[in-house]
Structure 1
Amino acid sequence: MRLVAEFTTEPFDVEGQPPAHATEAFEAAQQAGLESDFGPLGTSVRGEQEVLLPALTGVLEAAFANGASQVTLQVRRDGVVRTPREGSGLNGLLAEVAAELGGPLSGLSRGDKQRAVLLLEAKGAFEYRKSAEIVAEALGVTRFTVYNYLNRARD
C-alpha cells in the first residue's frame, strides 16, 4: 500500500535559508528513496508502506539531531482524502465562521482571524486536504500564519 506522510519541523524560521532541522529531515527522506516535496513550512513524502514507515524514524532522528523542538507528522493512504463530516465541506465551514464573526474573513482584525482559525479547527476544517492553504487564502494571510495561530492555541 502506498502512503503519504506530511511533516513540519519547528521552530519555524521564515527569514533566510531553511533551518537545518528541516533540510536534514528532507535529506533523510530522499536518501530513503521516498518521493519528496520540500516546502518552506513542511515536507511531504510518498512511498510504499514497507519503505515509508521505517524511513520516518530516520526523518525524525535527523530533525531532532539538527535542532527541531517539535515535529508534527500526519500519515495517510495515498489517494485518500478524509472528509470529517457530512455537509457542505470546507467552503461551508468558512462561510459558517464568517457569519459567526460578522463579515468576510479577510476583513477581520488579527485577533478575530486567530479566533476564526480556532473555530475552524473545532469544526474539523483542518481535516480536509489542503485546508491550511484554503483557510489562509480566505483570511488573506500566509499558510505559515495559519500554522502559527494553530500552534499558539495548542501551547
Structure 2
Amino acid sequence: MRRILVIAVAASALALAGCGGDAETASPDATATETETTTATTPAETAPTVTTPAETTPPNPKPTTIVIVVDQGRPRGGIKRPELDKGEKVVLVVRADAGEDVHLHGYDIEKPVTPGKPVRIPLTVDLPGRFELELHHPDSVLAVLEVRP
C-alpha cells in the first residue's frame, strides 16, 4: 500500500510540475509574441505619409513659341504683340524671305537671317518693359514683346 501511495504522489507531482512548467513557459512566450507582433505592426499602420520633393515640384513648363513669317520684308498678319511674364521662357522663330539679321532690342540679341531657313532665338525674358524685334535691311518691326513684372 505504501508503494501505491508513493507512486500516486510521485505521479501527481510529475503531472503538476509538467503542467505548471508548461503553462508558465507557454504563457510568457505567447504573450511576448503577441506583444512583439503588436509593437511591430502598430508603427507601420500609424506612420504618417511622407511627401518627397519630386512629388511636389511641378514640371518645368514648355517655353512659349512665337512664330513670325516675313513676306517681302513685312511680318505676315502685322506686327506681333505678345504679352509675357517676367521669368517666362520664350523661343522666337523668324522665317524671312529677305533681310540680313534679326535684332531683339533691350536684350541685345542679334541673329543672321538666311532666306527660307528659320532663325530660332531662345531666351528667358527677365527684363520688364517693351522690346522691339526688328528685321534689318530692310528695316521693319516684326514684333513688340511686352514683359510684365
TM-score, normalised by the number of residues in structure 1: 0.23
| Structure of greater Rg | 2
Question: By percentage of residues, which structure has more strand?
Answer: 2
Structure ranking higher on relative contact order (CA contacts 8 Å, 6+ apart): 1
Structure having the higher helix fraction is 1
- TM-score under structure 2 length normalisation: 0.24
